Amino acid sequence: MPNNNTDVVTYEELEATDVISVELVPERKGLILKHCEYYVSSRRHGTTVTRRYNDFAQLYDVLYAKYPYRSVCRLPPKRVVVGGGSPRFLQRRRAALQRWLTLVARHPVLAHDADLRSFLCETAAKLEKPKHDEFVLAGTQEDSPREMSTEDMQAAFTTDQEQLRLALLGIDRIYQIFERVESRCEAERADIRELGNGLNALSTPSVADGNRWSHVKEAMKAAADLVTELSESPLEEMDFTEDGPGGKVLLALDALGAYRELCSRLTRGLHAERAAAAAAAPHTAASQLLRERHRYALRCSLEEARIGRAYALAALESLPELFRTHGTAHARIAALWADLHTALRHPQAKHTVK
């Protein structure tokens, strides 16, 4: 990644790096404590391999040890799956694993890692924890003339940390609202189906019906048909699948959460490195190495902030489509209530629900 701290990383550039797919293998292994396997595909490498959760965990451990100054997301927690687990849990964990691997495979540095390539390409990948981290493996690096001073990088790190902290809080709050709204919409759709059943039951004709009863039951039947028509037609929902606009929101939450953890880790480590460098003799090799590691950590933090901003911006730009989708669904429900009023008053009238 370039050293110029003004370089901008875009979501489109990250997305073009690779497209990852993680799908459940239909048959789960194990007699009682079943485990899941996943088909893992990479468009960049043109490969599909089979992996278990433990394989993802092993790759995470390797990357976390090798890249201490990078935003490596946490894996979704492991859970013992008795009897195969619920479909909802399995799909949520599959989606979380796909997001995790997507963020790794699109990362400007991690995407070129040999262990990641082995995980994506080899049938039986053998991953071992590295003996050295990224700083040692990178070797001595000359500072670019256009690179910021250590003090400026420290100030930029503080600014980036606060900006992306607020972005994470805001996007997470919006997502929580989306989840609550979606839950209320599901409850409303269930209520509408129940309403249709009630109206349909009330519309059943009887030999004892007079003209007024017949007229009311005709209206009930027209209203029940309206509800049935709406409940049987698919309502457009907010799309939080991997390819939908909501998928960008979830990717941003994972990416920004990883950056927050990196900042916390770096803040502790940078203070320790500064103290150690100050305590060491100023011109010794150990002191020079600490100063170089300190600058390397700051440089990485600024690069990770640019990646975090790219995901945050993509999430915010996806919000209009999510709002439009939700507005369309609400408009259909609102039209239904208006048509129910018309149907009960004028059973033969035309209605607006589509």
Tokens 């404590």 correspond to 33
pLDDT band at 3 (very low <50, low <70, confident <90, very high): very low
Give the whole-number percent of the chain exceeding pLDDT 90: 49
Q: Are strands 20-24 and 37-42 parallel, antiparallel or unpaired?
A: antiparallel
The Cα 275–Cα 200 span in angstroms is 77
How much is the pLDDT for 144? Answer: 64
Going 93 to 95 to 96 to 101, the CA torsion angle's sign is positive
Burial class (CB in 10 A: 0-12, 13-18, 19+), 299: buried
Backbone φ and ψ for 345, nearest 5 degrees, come out as: -90, -35
Q: Nearest-CA neighbor of 310 among 251, 350, 246?
A: 251
Domain ranges within the chain, ordered by starting residue: 1-120+141-146, 177-345
Dihedral of the CA atoms 96, 102, 105, 110 (nearest 10)?
-60
| Nearest-10 crossing angle of helices 150-202, 245-279 | 150
The reported pLDDT for the residue numbered 268 is: 84
CATH topology of domain 1-120+141-146: PX Domain (3.30.1520)
184 or 256: which carries more pLDDT confidence? Answer: 256
Residue 1: pLDDT band with limits 50, 70, 90: very low
- The string of pLDDT tens digits covering residues 238-255 is 677 777 888 999 999 999
Question: What is the rounded distance in angstroms from the CA atom of residue 134 to the CA atom of residue 165?
Answer: 25
d(CA 254, CA 242): 13
Residue pair 294/276 in contact (Cβ under 8 Å)? The answer is no
Cα 286 to Cα 115: distance, rounded to the nearest angstrom: 30
Asked whether 22 and 39 are in contact (CB, 8 A), the reply is yes
Query: pLDDT for 296-340, tens place per residue?
Result: 999 999 999 999 999 999 999 999 998 888 888 888 888 888 888
Query: In terms of CATH architecture, what is 177-345?
Result: Up-down Bundle (1.20)
| CA–CA dist 116, 122 (Å, integer) | 10
Phi-psi region for residue 102, left (φ > 0), alpha (ψ -120 to 50) or beta? alpha
Q: At what angle do helices 285-345 and 245-279 cross, to 10 degrees?
A: 160
